[in-house]
Amino acid sequence: MNTKRILLAFLVLTGWMAPVADAQNYVAVPDGADDAAVLEAALAVRPSERQMAWQELEYYGFIHFGPNTFTGKEWGDGTTDPAVFNPTGLDANQWVAVFKEAGMKGLILTAKHHDGFCLWPTATTEYSVVQSPWRSGKGDLVKEVADACRAAGLKFGVYLSPWDRNHPAYGDSPAYNEVFRRQLTELLTNYGEVFEVWFDGANGEGPNGKVQQYDFESYYALIRQLQPGAVIAIMGPDVRWVGNEAGKGRDPEWSVLPVEVASRRKIAADSQQDVKQDMFVPKDARGNDLGSREKLKGTSGIIWYPSEVDTSIRPGWFYHSSQDDKVKSPRQLEDIYYSSIGMNSTLLLNIPPDRRGLIHENDIDHLMALRRRIEATFAVNLARQAKLSSVRPARGFEATKLTDGDKHSYWKATTAASEHAIEFHFKKPVTFDRLMLQENIRNGQRIEAFQLEIYQNGRWMKVAEGLTVGYKRLLRFEKVSSKKVRVKITAFRAAPELIEAGLYLAPEN
Ligand code: FUL
C-alpha cells in the first residue's frame, strides 16, 4: 500500500469519509495516474440504480414538524415538555394532497429533529408522541404520514437527526449508536418502503457538551439491509448536500466528483452551526466548482455523488405564525426551481405544517402558483415542430431521438470532433425563452460546456450558454425568434449523449 491508499483507508475507517456504496458508482484512481487515466476513471463512474430512481423524482417535499412548531424555536434543546405537542386538527392526508397537487413526487418527514422528540411511539425513549396529549398519547405520526403517502402514490422518506439533545445515552458512544440503530430499525421496518434517509450534518454541541462518535458505517449497513432501495443523503454516500439552504445551485454541477468531497468531517463542518430563535442562519458552503478536470487531479477515487438542494418555503424550517407573510413568492420559488432542478440537482422544498397540523393557506397558494407557472412553461416543446439533425450521429442515435419523449432513447455523437452541434430547422420562425437538455447519465456525465445559438441576419448568434448538463439543465434567457436554432457542445469528456432537448416559451406574467 502506498501512502495515499493508507491515508484513504484511515479516513474511511475513522469515519472521516463516507464509504462508497456500489462498485459502479466508485472507481479508484491509481496513485500517480496521469490526466488520461483520471479522465478514464471519471467516465467509468455511473449512478447506482437507487441514485437513478431518486434523481428521476426531481421534486419532493420536506416536513419539519415537532415541539418546535409549538414553541416558536428552530432548534429545541430537548427539555421542552411533550405536553406542548398538541396539534388540534392534524391531517397528514392534507399534507400529502398539497404535495401531490404541487407536483412533488415524495415527502421526507422529520421523524426526530435535534431535540430528540420522536414522532412515532418508539421503544428507545419516552420522549415521544406517547407522552403528548395528541391523540391521547396513542398517535403515530410516522404511520399516518407513511400511510397517506402510500395511498396517494407519493414516496416516503425519513429525516432522523443523529444529534440528539434529549437522549440520556447521547455522548456514551456505543450505547447511543445502539439506540440510533434501533430507531432506524423501527423506522425502516414498520412503515413500508422508504426512498431516502436524511442524516443532518448539524451538531451544535459546544466544547463542553457531550461528544458522540457516530458509527455511520453501521447505520449505512443497516439501511442497506432493511431498505436497499433507499438513498442515504447528506451525511451519507448517495446524495450530496448542495452546500447552502437558500435554494442556490451552481454551474458546473458535477455528479462525478473526487471522493474527498464525501468527507463527513467536511460535510459536518460546512453544515449549519447555529440558529436564531425562529430562523436559520444563512450559510453558503457551495464552492463554485467541485468536479472539473482540475479538481479531479490527484484524487484517489471518483464517485457518483449527485446534489440535492434543500430549502424552506419560509425563513424557518419549522412553522412560526410570525412568518405567515414571509412565504417565498411564486417568483422566488420559480428561481429556486431553475437553480435546482434546472441545474442538475433535485429540489427538496420544506413546507412546515402549522399548529393546527395543517399546511397554511399562504404556502398552498404559492406552491400552486409555482405549479401552474411551471406547467404552462413546459406544456409545449417547440422543438417537436422542428426537423432535427446533427453531423454524423451514431447509427440508431439520430437527433430525432431528442424529442421522442422516451427516456431510454438518446442522441449520440460518433466522431472525435472538437465540437458537436444539433440543429433545429423550423418551417416558420419560432419564439422561445427556455432551453432544456438532459444528458444520458446512465452512461455517465460528459458535457463540460455548451451554448444555444440562433441564425439571424446570415450568421449564428449566441443566445445563452452553460457548463454542465447532467440529468437536467434548464436555461432562461430573453425571448428570441428564429427559423434555425442550434445547440453547440463545445467541451466534453467523451462523445456526448443527450436523451431529450426542448425549447419553450414561458407565458407572460
Ligand atoms: C439543518 C438543521 O439544523 C435544520 O434545523 C434543518 O433540519 C435543516 C434541514 O438542516 O442542518
- Give me the pLDDT at residue 358, please: 98
Higher-pLDDT residue of 245 and 205 is 245
Q: Given pLDDT bands bounded at 50, 70 and 90, which one contains residue 208? A: low
Closest atom of ligand 1 relative to the 200 alpha carbon: 11
The three cell numbers of residue 59 are 421534486
Residue 123: pLDDT band with limits 50, 70, 90 = very high
Residue nearest to atom 10 of ligand 1 (CA): 200
Pairing of the two strands 59-63 and 106-112: parallel
High-pLDDT (> 70) share of the chain, %: 92
Ligand 1 centroid distance, CA of 150 (Å): 26
380: confidence class by pLDDT, cuts 50, 70, 90? very high
What confidence tens digit (pLDDT) does each residue in 93-114 have?
999 999 999 999 999 999 999 9
**Whole-angstrom Cα distance, residue 360 to residue 322?**
12
- Out of 240-244, 336-340, 479-483, pick the least confident: 240-244
- Ligand 1 atom, smallest distance to 110 CA: 7
Distance CA 54, CA 281 (A): 28
Query: Tell me, what's the pLDDT at 282?
Result: 59
Ligand 1: residue whose CA is nearest its atom 4 = 317
Higher per-residue pLDDT: 207 or 225: 225
Q: How far is CA 21 from CA 161, 241, 470, in A?
A: 21, 17, 21
CA of 268 to the centre of ligand 1 (A): 12
- State mean pLDDT over 44-69: 98
pLDDT of residue 207: 58
pLDDT band at 13 (very low <50, low <70, confident <90, very high): very low
Q: Work out which ligand 1 atom sits closest to the CA atom of 75.
A: 5
Region 40-49: mean pLDDT is: 96
Does pLDDT of 20 surpass 50?
A: no
| The pLDDT of residue 505 is above 80 | yes
Q: Ligand 1: residues whose CB is within 6 Å?
A: 74, 200, 202, 271-272, 280, 310, 317
Selecting from 3.40.50.20, 3.40.50.1820, 3.40.50.960, 3.20.20.80, what CATH number does the domain 4-377 have? 3.20.20.80
Q: What is the number of the ligand 1 atom nearest to the C-alpha of 74? A: 5
Specify the pLDDT at position 353: 98
Reply yes or no on whether the pLDDT at 49 is more than 80.
yes
Q: Give the rounded percent of residues in the chain with a pLDDT score beyond 90.
A: 84
Mean pLDDT of the chain: 92
CB 391, CB 496: distance < 8 Å = no
CATH top class, domain 382-504: mainly beta
Residue 388 predicted with pLDDT over 90: yes
| Protein residue with least CA distance to atom 6, ligand 1 | 317
Confirm whether 4-377 and 382-504 share one CATH topology.
Answer: no
What pLDDT shows up at residue 220? 97
Bigger pLDDT: 160 or 20? 160
Phi-psi region of 144 (alpha: psi -120 to 50; beta: other; left: phi over 0): alpha
Q: 258-300 pLDDT, tens per residue? A: 999 988 887 888 887 777 666 666 567 667 899 999 999 999 9
CA of 119 to the centre of ligand 1 (A): 17
Q: For residue 286, what pLDDT is reported?
A: 65
Each residue's pLDDT tens digit, 427-486 = 999 999 999 999 999 999 999 999 999 999 999 999 999 999 999 999 999 999 999 999
CA of 200 to the centre of ligand 1 (A): 7
Instruction: Give residue for cell 444520458.
Output: 440
Evaluate if residue 10 carries a pLDDT over 70. no
Per-residue confidence (pLDDT) for residue 14, from 0 to 100: 43
The residue to mutate among 272, 277, 309, having the most atoms of ligand 1 within 8 angstroms of its beta carbon, is: 272
Higher pLDDT, 450 or 2: 450
Pocket test for ligand 1, best of 109, 200, 319 (most atoms within 8 A of CB): 200
What does the pLDDT read at residue 206?
A: 60
Q: What is the pLDDT of residue 264?
A: 82
- Look up residue 331 and give its three cell numbers: 417568483
Give the model's confidence band at 391: pLDDT under 50 very low, under 70 low, under 90 confident, else very high.
confident
Higher pLDDT pick, 205 / 11: 205
Decide if pLDDT at 23 tops 60. no
pLDDT at 8 over 80: no
CA of 201 to the centre of ligand 1 (A): 8
The domain ranges of the chain are 4-377, 382-504
The pLDDT value given to residue 271: 80
One-letter-per-residue 3-state SS of 488-508? EEEEECCCCEEEEEEEECCCC
Mean pLDDT, residues 175-200: 98
> So what's the pLDDT on residue 15?
44
pLDDT tier for residue 418 given thresholds of 50, 70 and 90:
confident
Contact assessment for residue 394 and residue 413, using Cβ atoms and an 8 Å cutoff: yes
Sign of CA dihedral 333, 334, 336, 340: positive
Lookup: cell for 44: 467509468
Going from the Cα of 392 to the center of ligand 1, the distance in angstroms, rounded, reads 50
Give CA–CA dist 135/405, Å, rounded.
Answer: 47
Dist. CA 62 → ligand 1 center (Å): 11
Q: Distance, CA 400 to ligand 1 centroid (Å)?
A: 44
Between 20-34, 116-130, 434-448, 458-472, the lowest mean confidence (pLDDT) is in: 20-34
**For residue 318, which atom of ligand 1 is closest to its CA?**
5
Mean pLDDT calculated for residue range 130-147: 98
